[in-house]
Amino acid sequence: MTSNDFRLERNVELSAETREIAERELRETPERVREALERLRELLKENKDLYFGDDDEILTIFLRPCKWYPESALALMRRVAEFKKENACLLDGLLPEHEINSFLEHKVVNVLKGRDHKGRRVLIVNVGGSWDPKKVTADQLFRLFYLIHEAAMLEPESQVRGTIVVMDFHNMGWSQTMGLTPSFSKRLLTFIQDAMPLRLKEVHFVKEPMIFNVVWKMFKPLIREKLKNRIFFHGSKMSSLHKHLEPSHLPADYGGELPTIDYSGAEWYPVINEVLPHIHKWNTYGFAKNT
């Protein structure tokens, strides 16, 4: 296993194939990019209650999921600011070091080393028996998810191709069920649906037991149609998962052809720590502070 297995693909030119996807799905052309960047900068100057960086990298993070419509990107910025304000108790000044124990000692969140067959990043969230809510609370679980998204948003390929989430409920019991509180459900879904500047393409629930229905009853009323159409349930049938994620790009844990996962968030922690300057800046973004 080399260090290249765990790295961010930041400041990388889009591949030719990804450029085609960007143009086809996101309306991305050189002329439209220039115009959108210029217009979004103007809108930020006009909306003085918002404070965000105005360099190309930051603006592109918001423009790509909004298909290069500046007004939509500004609306996304405003929703991000609202979310950060409403969840300040969890997110204010959040740094990777604050959750170092959760990353290093507990195998709750993980990112597959490679991308899937469509070039998408795959986040694994283990909320079954391997998760002890007394050691990693639901709030901490969300903070881990948030820190990972801060890193993922920096990858141009991920901005265009999107991301996948696999929720693994293997050996889920009452302690995990009770750990996924209504407040956590509401916060997570608000974030995903309103305030995450990434293209979430699919969410796959795997190995969910009967007790999972208790959790689903909490989640279901909060899920809007767009996200609902991207959620898939597979139980223990990995052949069902393979209709969406090809076995050639999946580990044996999910019936794939790749080796069983032998790494965790511990290997990804240094990668996220490498983008501390970005995380520090991100912590200052949102509603402008009164001076």
Residue at 240: amino acid letter: S
pLDDT of residue 198: 97
At 28, the pLDDT band (50, 70, 90 cuts) reads very high
CA nearest neighbour of 249 among 240, 259, 239, 238: 259
pLDDT tens readout for residues 95-119 = 999 999 999 999 999 999 999 999 9
Measured CA to CA, the distance from residue 21 to residue 36 in angstroms comes to 18
Query: Does residue 2 register a pLDDT over 70?
Result: no
Contact 146, 54 (CB under 8 A): no
pLDDT of residue 3: 58
Stretch 170-199: mean pLDDT, rounded? 94
Q: How far is CA 168 from CA 85, 113, 129, 157, 208, in A?
A: 30, 17, 10, 25, 7
Chain mean position to CA 14: 20
pTM summary value: 0.95
Residue carrying structure tokens 């929703």: 79
Contact 166, 206 (CB under 8 A): yes
Query: Does residue 181 register a pLDDT over 60?
Result: yes
At 289, the pLDDT band (50, 70, 90 cuts) reads confident
Share of the chain above pLDDT 70, in %: 99
Exposed, middle or buried, 291 (CB in 10 Å: 0-12/13-18/19+)? exposed
Tokens representing 114 are 């490679």
pLDDT tens readout for residues 201-230 = 999 999 999 999 988 998 999 999 999 999
Contact 83, 194 (CB under 8 A): yes
Residue carrying structure tokens 């956590």: 184
Lowest mean pLDDT among 3-7, 220-224, 283-287: 3-7
CA nearest neighbour of 152 among 38, 10, 17: 10
Stretch 120-125: mean pLDDT, rounded? 97
Q: Where are the beta strands (DSSP E) in 79-119?
A: 109-111
pLDDT tens readout for residues 127-157 = 999 999 999 999 999 999 999 999 999 999 9
Domains with residue ranges and CATH for the chain: 16-91+275-287 (no CATH), 96-273 (3.40.525.10)
